[in-house]
Structure formats: structure tokens, C-alpha cells
Structure 1
């Protein structure tokens, strides 16, 4: 009888590793410190996290044992979902663990914009006292925000900004109404509502449908002088169209954490634009990351071993989320 193997893509702390081993005592555990032999690669049944070198080796085999991949991220656009679907491999993600830090990052970007923080930082770097009449300032209270992709991150953001007096709407494919939103519109009604909002936040996953979703046509339809925040996926935005919208002041401000190409090229015009705030794909950084992912590992592993199904965050391989 061949050995059943669970491969963990990161080195877990001992207490988390021991917890998993107690749940699956009949499995061998492997990772970079205890690597797979050539003969063991076809025996990997579960991958906790995605190691592209190991994973692609497995998927290239005609006969392998892989049945479930637990991604360590919320987005899974870096995986070949069609291949996983064809091979009957379950996929789950880490949806939910990034909700608090990303929501707080969006709020930080908006406060930097509306309360003159960004302009003040630039002045401090020059040892200059910025006269108040030169400080761009406004208030979030009373603003209208549209969150496109109102999943767990969007719902957390809506809860936070609602307490600051922001009127929050969402937009999703289904238009299903959600707590903390004034209304959630169906995505096919976008053109009817887009011009109503002062702030637009992208939290869409990246799929074939959402690639360059934010293009010239989209930006031409927003309310002139709106703010645009992207904490979703970089390739969902047509960068050239975004730059044009910022240059013409169709957009007054953009807070960008993700980009079409990362790292952002040193010669990108975005670096020099005073109405742009750039963070280097850090909005999703989570304290106690291993603790949070090991909780999902454990819950899903327990479910998988009992029922061959997953308790949390199973990805629809057709829709991509």
C-alpha cells in the first residue's frame, strides 16, 4: 500500500504542524525541510498552500493522487482552474482572513486623501510647513461609496465606513442584499448607477470577465472627481486608461495597492502623480498569519477526511471564486 502524503507549502510552527498531524495520523507530512523524493511526488493527496514547483510536477503526471489544494490566498487566479476542474481536484482559499487589514488599508488611503495626510507627508519630506490653504481636505462623512465585489472584505469595509457617515452601496453579479449596505446593485445595472458615487473601491477577484474591467469606458462613466481604490487584483485595471483618467482629473485620486505588473516599473507615471497613493501590495498583510491559516487548514482537513468534502471556502472552479 502506497503512503498517503500531505505537502505543506510553508514551514509551519511546531504547534500548528502537530495539530494537523494529530488530525491525520495515517498521512506522512512533507515540506521544503522534509522534501519529497521522486517516488513520493505521485503520492501527494493534499497540498496545504501552493508550491508551484511541486504542484506543477504533480499536475503534469498522468497518474497522481492529488485530490485537494488549500490555497494560502483569497485569490486563486495563479492556478489553472480548468485543469483542476478536469482532474476533479478540490480547491479552497483563505477568503475572510484578510478582511480586517484590507478594510483598514482602504480607510487609511481615504483618510490620507481627504484629511490632507498625503500632502503633509510630502511637505515633511521637504522640511516645509504647508499653509492650510494649500492642503487638499474634505470629509468622508456624507460621501457615497460603491464597493464592487462586496464579499467578506467589502462587508467589513462597509461596516467600518458606515460608522463614519459614509453611504455605502455594493455591486455584485447577483445583487443579493447584504448587511451594512444601503443597497447592492446587480452588476448588469452598472451604467445606471456609476455616476452617483464619490468613491469606488475594487475588490473583485481576477477572472476572464474582470480582466481590464476598469477601462476607459468605465472611467468615463464615473462621477467627475471621484476617488478610485484598488485592493482587488492589478490586471482588473487597464493601467493606461487609469493614468488618462487621473491626468484629466476625471478621477481626483487613486489609492493603489495592486498593479498589472508587480513590482511597479520605476518609470511608471503613477509614481510621480500627486493624486496617487501607492502601497506595494501590502494591504492584505495579516498578523498571526499562521494561526489563521492553520485554523482553516484544520477545519477543512477534518471535513475532508470525514466526508471527502470541505467545510469552508471551497472555490467554484468555473467562476474562479
Structure 2
């Protein structure tokens, strides 16, 4: 059996894989045309991944190293009966802490103070009347899965009222209210923070568009730690320019890296981070643990133990 490793594996974890009988770990540099047809499992993804998917005659399972899987050809996986798993669950704490940092950055005037610092300007008298505490503010969170719940949990600790948006509208832990994603405009008009953590699907692509932003009251902060293409970038820029939004904190973008000529870079009310909200130094080990569990389970039962992706739903 051959495992193609397209995501870095530490020496310690390679030793763990070595305990699986008859398993050979293949690195991209070792791939030959013949080997490409004999890959059983893939860990990670990259430029060579689609070629292996197309040519392998025995590919059974791919372990993605991300939570989102919109960059896979899900229809092709389904057609070839290849199982796919993600690493959903390991991002909850880091993304929730990042979102909390964004929220405090704007609420407590830190973002404005940091920009003033680059100009050696003392802006205390200007900022004090504009800053507030989080108590009784409202956050509307699009996506009520593990990450959304972790965000809501932390915001509730600061007495923020949390409203979740999902497809079914059923109650979810840590949300004071949950509504369906086709009944959101009235809810977001009353929000102070709008947070996107939805997966990217056909239904969520450009979900946040001109119609969405034009319904806002102008005082909201928009936060995107979900997927870049969920947001129509032109519509977002227009909303910021025309005061339909008070500001935005953006970690993901339609085009990455964000082009150097994007107007978002120079907007005073925009905070940009380079797709790092889910990152942490132990990421590789935690992702590998999911791979290892799924490999062992698959070899025993032909099934995956954790995070199998519904190829039709896209997550």
C-alpha cells in the first residue's frame, strides 16, 4: 500500500506510520508515472494531487489537511468512489481566539490607535468617545458548527448576545438564538458584528453580496474567517466606501495572496491578516492524528472514523 504525503510529516510521525504493516510513504519527488497509478491514500493536496486522482487505479481515501474542501473535485471523488476526510475540529480554538481579538481590536479602539501610531499621532481624546465594552452587543455568526460554537462560547463570556445562522434553524449550544440562512436580513440589521465561518458551497459562494450589505445599518463590523469566495469583494469594498459597514476584519479572500493593488490594503477601517486565523504550531501533529486514526480504521473496516466529508453537501 502506498501513502502519498503532500503535507509535511515529522520524523516522529513517520515512525508511527512505519508501524502499519506493508505501508510505504511516498514523497512527491519520488513519484514516477508507474507509482502514480499505484497510490492508495493521499495526505494533503497540491499540484500533483489531481493528476494522481485521475491516474491512480486504486486510490481509496484522501485526508485533507484543512477544514474546507472546496478546492477538491467532489464530483470526481464521488464518481471514483474515493473517500475524503477533513481536519474539522482542530481549528475551533485558534479561530475563536482570533475572532475575539478582532472584536476587541475594534471595540476597544486598538485598531485605530495602531494606525495612529504609524503617524506618531496621539489620538486619545478622539478615541475615548468612540470605544465601548462588549456587554450586550450582538454577534450574528454564519455557521454553527464546531468553530462557530467556539466563537459564540467566547463571546458569551463577554456578555455578547449570540445569534447563529444555519440551514435548519435548530438550537445549538452557545447561541442565544438560531435562525435559518434564508431569514437573515432582519437579524443582521440589529447586529454589531457579522461573522462568517460557513464552508464554501454553491449556495454560499458570494452569499455576502450587494443585496446583503445594502441592507445593513452602517454600524456593523464584518468578520470573515470562513472562505474568501463567500464574499463578493467588489460589494464589500463598495459597502465600506459607502458606510454600509463600519469596518471589516478579513483573514480570507477571493484571491490569495490579496493583490497588492487591492483597495482593502489602504482602508483605515479594515484589518487584514494573511489567512492565519486557524494556524497554531501544533497543527501538523493534530492533523496527523486524524490521518492516523482514519488510516487505521479504514484498514480494519473500509470506513473512516472521523470527519468524513459528505461529497454531495460539500462539507
Which range, TM-score by smaller chain?
Answer: over 0.9
2:65 aligns with: 72
Find the aligned partners of 1:227 and 1:26 in 2 and give their Cα distance.
Answer: 53
The correspondence for 1:194, drawn from 183, 188, 193, is 188
- 1:31 paired with 2:27, answer yes
Q: In the aligned structure 2, how far is the partner of 1:74 from the partner of 1:11? A: 17
Structure 1 counterpart SS, 2:247: strand
CA deviation vs aligned residue, 1:141-199 (integer Å, no higher than 9, x gap)? 11111100111111111111100010001000122211111121111222342322111
Give the C-alpha shift of residue 268 in structure 1: 1.5
1:198–1:223 Cα contact (<8 Å) kept: no
Q: Where does the alignment leave 5 or more consecutive residues of structure 2 unmatched?
A: none
For 2:166 and 2:47, the matched residues in 1 are separated by 31
Asked if 2 retains the 8 angstrom alpha-carbon contact of 1:92 and 1:315, the reply is: yes
The match for 1:176 is 170
Query: What is the CA–CA distance in structure 1 between the aligned matches of 2:208 and 2:136, rounded to whole Å?
Result: 25
Cα pair 1:10 1:31 within 8 Å, conserved: no
C-alpha distance in 1, partners of 2:53/2:164? 38
CA contact 1:11–1:31 (8 Å) conserved in 2? no
Matched, 1:145 2:139: yes
User: Out of 29, 42, 57, which is 2:37 matched to?
Assistant: 42
Question: Normalising by structure 1, what TM-score?
Answer: 0.94
Larger CA deviation: 254-263 vs 127-136: 127-136
Question: Distance between the aligned counterparts of 2:68 and 2:168, measured in 1?
Answer: 20
Which residue is 2:212 aligned to? 218
Q: Matched residues in 1 for 2:86 and 2:68: separation?
A: 7
The alpha-carbon deviation at position 270 of structure 1 amounts to 1.2
Normalising by structure 2, we get a TM-score of 0.96
- 1:95 equivalent in structure 2: 88
The equivalent residue for 1:228 is: 222
**What is the CA–CA distance in structure 2 between the aligned matches of 1:72 and 1:134, rounded to whole Å?**
42
**Aligned equivalent of 1:11:** 8
| Counterpart secondary structure, 1:251 | coil
- Alignment equivalent of 2:254, drawn from 250, 255, 260: 260
RMSD (CA atoms)? 1.4
Q: Distance in 2 between matches of 1:101 and 1:59?
A: 32
| Alignment of structure 1 residues 78-89 onto 2, 5 Å | 78-89=71-82
